[in-house]
Homo-oligomer: A and B are copies of this chain.
Amino acid sequence: MRVNGHGMRTIWDTDGVVEIIDQRFLPHELKIIPLETLEDARAAIADMKVRGAPCIGATAMYGMAVAMRNDPSDASLAQAQETLNGSRPTAVNLEWATRECVEAVSDISASKRADILFKMARKNCDDDADMCSNIGDYGKTLLDEIAKYKGGDVINILTHCNAGWVATVDWGTAISPIYKAFNAGMNVHVWVDETRPRSQGARLTAWELEQHGVPYTVITDNSGGHLMQHGLVDICFVGTDRTTATGDVCNKIGTYLKALAAFDNDVPFYVCAPSNSIDWDMQDGLKEIPIEVRSGEQEVGWITGRDEDGIIRRVTTMPDPKKTRNDAFDVTPRKYITGLITERGIANASRAGLLQLFPEKA
């Protein structure tokens, strides 16, 4: 999407020079860094220069490609896979990406491996962007429906965390329908949940929308229910980290509270769920999905931002930043979800609904 007036993705290569946005500096600085070695790719993932499952997967594929360019041996191939797989503990896309690469080139002569993997990495980026674009097109149909009864009045969309283009290669998931509507000239405005503790809404979603020119307002995570009570939210779009085969959704902590408020106020609540987020073996999100508990002191106790002089600092509001707890995700039961927007269309949040779009999983 647009950054400083130009189209940009989270990762790209120009004649074999791979570059990424180092997202740790957003929204304060747009820092672009090269991926020249396997170590660069590993560090990009491990240090959270890139984040979001699709973006991590894309980085891993390019990491395999640069590793093969620097040393195309079998030993190097195996080491690249192992190194990248170990860079983040629970990223499903990571293992998928490296496995695809190994399978594609393990029987190929060393001299051809890098070329093949660069092509794969590029195609994977395009495929991911297409998938997100499709989700956007389907999601936009919901906004078109709302536009019919709103006349020209602004359509207010609430989102939580960042499921925008910087979490993917391009378009994003939950924000993709908004970009599609905005690009088509529709009158949209986004309520961006701050999303404590890591503030991905305030940092990343706000930055994306700012850069693309989409009207938005950052609100505290406490505010969405009140806005819904007063008719100020027309629809909610959120992402998902994992979706059960029955339609339960595990997403950033706090998603569940917004779903409850949407349900209480008859506000449609949609989850943008690319099919690779669906775990077809899981039935009950609350019982089966393990929830990562991260450092409370680092993420809840201390808040990092820029001060008035533009210097990055961290501050605490608490008497003891260690007395904190930091569950990273929660589960929204399917009964509170109006629908799941996938790259094949919009499904009811149920096994039957999902199987209608993905009959091959029956």
Asked whether A295 is an interface residue with its Cβ less than 8 Å from the other chain, the reply is: no
Asked whether A304 is an interface residue with its Cβ less than 8 Å from the other chain, the reply is: yes
Q: Is the CB of A327 within 8 A of B257?
A: no
Min CB–CB distance A286 → chain B (angstroms): 6
* Partner pick for A199 among B313, B317, B329, CB 8 A cutoff: B317
Q: Is the CB of B320 within 8 A of A229?
A: no
Q: Is the CB of A257 within 8 A of B225?
A: yes
A262 to B320, CA, bound (A): 27
Asked whether A308 is an interface residue with its Cβ less than 8 Å from the other chain, the reply is: yes
Stretch touching chain B among A108-116, A214-222, A236-244: A214-222
Asked whether A52 is an interface residue with its Cβ less than 8 Å from the other chain, the reply is: no
Q: Is the CB of B202 within 8 A of A317?
A: yes
A197 to B194, CA, bound (A): 10
Asked whether A107 is an interface residue with its Cβ less than 8 Å from the other chain, the reply is: no
**Contact flags (1/0) for A194-232 with B, using CB distance below 8 Å?**
111101001100110010000011111111111101000
Asked whether A307 is an interface residue with its Cβ less than 8 Å from the other chain, the reply is: yes
A315 to B257, CA, bound (A): 27
A329 to B230, CA, bound (A): 13
Contacts of A327 in B (CB 8 A): 223, 226-227
Q: Is the CB of B300 within 8 A of A219?
A: yes
Contacts of A195 in B (CB 8 A): 222
**Nearest chain B residue, comparing its CB with the CB of A207:** B319
**Nearest chain B residue, comparing its CB with the CB of A195:** B222
Q: Is the CB of B331 within 8 A of A229?
A: yes
**Nearest chain B residue, comparing its CB with the CB of A329:** B226
Contacts of A227 in B (CB 8 A): 327
Q: Is the CB of B315 within 8 A of A305?
A: yes
Q: Is the CB of B219 within 8 A of A325?
A: yes
Q: Is the CB of A226 within 8 A of B253?
A: yes
Asked whether A6 is an interface residue with its Cβ less than 8 Å from the other chain, the reply is: no
Asked whether A291 is an interface residue with its Cβ less than 8 Å from the other chain, the reply is: yes
Min CB–CB distance A104 → chain B (angstroms): 40
Asked whether A22 is an interface residue with its Cβ less than 8 Å from the other chain, the reply is: no
Q: Which residues of A contact B (CB under 8 A)?
A: 27-28, 194-197, 199, 202-203, 206-207, 210, 216-227, 229, 252-254, 256-258, 260-261, 264, 286, 291, 296, 300-301, 303-308, 313-320, 323-327, 329-331
Jot down 12 A-B pairs with beta carbons below 8 A, ordered by A. Answer: A196-B196, A196-B221, A210-B320, A219-B324, A220-B254, A222-B253, A223-B326, A226-B327, A305-B316, A306-B316, A307-B313, A313-B313
Nearest first, the 7 closest Cβ-Cβ pairs linking A and B are A222-B254, A305-B315, A226-B330, A27-B319, A196-B220, A260-B260, A305-B317
